[in-house]
Every structure is written in C-alpha cells, then in structure tokens.
Amino acid sequence: MNALELIKQQHEEVAGLFKKYEKLAEHADAERQELFEQIADRLGAHAKIEEDYFYPALKKEDTEDDLREAVEEHLSVKRLIADLLEMDASDEEFDAKMKVLQEQVEHHVEEEEGDLFKAARKLLSKDQLDDLGIQLEEEYDTLMEGEPRNDVPAETEHAAPI
C-alpha cells in the first residue's frame, strides 16, 4: 500500500468504529468505553505517524498553511481525546464529546484527503509514496503494540511543529 492508500484505510477504519459507536444502545457503557479506547488508540497512532513522517514529506512553501491547519486540527482532536480519557462512558457528557470528536475527525479527514493528498501526488513520486507507505505502516504497527491513547494527553499543550 502506498502512503495515501494506507492513510485512507486508517481513516475508514476509524469511521467504521464511530459508526459502530453510534449504533450502541444507550446503556452499553462497557462497549462504549471499549470502542472509545479503540478509536483513541487509532487516532493517537495515526496523528503521530502523520506528524512525524507524512506532513514533513509535504512541507513546501505553498503547503505550509494547510499543514499548520492540519496540526491545529490534530491538537483539537487530541484535547477531546484527553478529556474523554478522564471521563467515564456513563457520564452524561460522554456521548456529546464523542459526537464532537467524530465531527472534527470527519472534517479533518475531508480536508486531508482533499488538499493534502493533492499536494502529496504533486510533490512525491510513485516510489516515494510507496516507501513512505512502508515507513508509515511500520511505525503505526509499532505504536499499536502499546496503548497510544495514553500518549495523547502529553501532546495537548501545543500543535506538533511544522
């Protein structure tokens, strides 16, 4: 899988988990907690590989504004995840915060797969996209061996550097 296919697949996986979450019955607190943790792990690891490898590969004068916006959106998502990590699925505000998280992720994904993917196709060769895909997948799998959601609260002070 090249870098863009891999990133898209991860976006779709998270979208699927959000859909599952939406379908849960009102009092399925244990299942809601479990799905939140799955989503938070995936988003934490996904944001990290983008910030460490994907975004730097796209850094050019005319992509800087889009990249800055992207890392600000990541920051906002991480702050929601950090809030949710301190909450309980039975809390009244839990579902509302999950909904906001879902909406922010959907918005971010739309822009990423639009403007940033366009820039990536322009700036990177087919081989570069393939190599980057391998690197992203390795990093992601390594992060997912742990519980990457637990690294998120430490990343809520500032947006990742561009």
The binding site for Fe ion (CB under 5 A) comprises 50, 112
> Closest residue (Cβ) to Fe ion?
50
CB of 145 to Fe ion, least distance (A): 20
* Closer CB to Fe ion, 34 or 53, in the complex: 53
Q: How far is the CB of 109 from Fe ion (least distance, A)?
A: 6
Residue pair 133/2 in contact (Cβ under 8 Å)? The answer is yes
Q: Which is nearer to Fe ion, 36 or 55 (CB)?
A: 55
With residue 48 as reference, give the H or E element that holds it. Answer: helix 29-49
Of residues 66 and 112, the one with the C-beta less far from Fe ion: 112
Contact indicator for 97, 82 with CB cutoff of 8 Å? no
Q: How many helices (H) and strands (E) does the chain have?
A: 7, 0
Q: Give the residue with the Cβ less far from Fe ion, 64 or 93.
A: 64
- Smallest gap from Cβ 131 to Fe ion, in A, equals 19
* DSSP state, residue 145: T
Residue 107, token pair as written in the block: 């918005």
Tell the smallest beta-carbon distance from residue 23 to Fe ion (Å): 24
Q: CB 147 → Fe ion: shortest distance, Å?
A: 20
- In the complex with Fe ion, the residue whose CB is nearer, 89 or 152, is 152
Q: Over the Cα atoms of the chain, what is R_g? A: 16
| Residues near 76 by beta carbon (within 8 Å), at least 6 away in sequence | 104
With 0-12 / 13-18 / 19 or more C-beta atoms within 10 angstroms meaning exposed / middle / buried, residue 55 is: buried
